[in-house]
């Protein structure tokens, strides 16, 4: 992430649904932090979906064993 250009940071924030200002050396770290936080949230959502699927499988297995 640290090797991203200011333009890449701007583009990634747009992809994440943000409306970023022009990225410069003054707001660069803030932009990187926003990308990092957004990607953490996206990844945790994926983890939640995976665990839900595993929970469903466990419940189905328990019902079959009864």
- Chain-centroid distance, C-alpha 7: 20
Q: How far apart are CA 17 and CA 1, in angstroms?
A: 18
pLDDT at 66: 44
pLDDT at 50: 58
Per-residue tens of pLDDT for the chain, all 66 residues: 568 999 999 999 999 999 999 999 999 999 999 999 999 988 887 666 555 666 656 555 555 454
pLDDT at 43: 84
pLDDT at 3: 83
Q: What single string gives the DSSP state of each residue in 6-66?
A: HHHHHHHHHHTT-------TTTHHHHHHHHHHHHHHHHHHHHHHHHHHHHHHHHHHHHHH-
């Amino acid at each position: 992430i640290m090797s991203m250009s200011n333009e890449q940071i701007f583009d990634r924030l747009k992809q994440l649904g943000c409306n970023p200002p022009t990225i410069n050396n003054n707001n660069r770290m803030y932009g990187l932090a926003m990308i990092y936080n957004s990607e953490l949230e996206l990844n945790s959502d994926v983890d939640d979906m995976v665990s839900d699927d595993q929970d469903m499988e466990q419940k189905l297995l328990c019902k079959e064993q009864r």
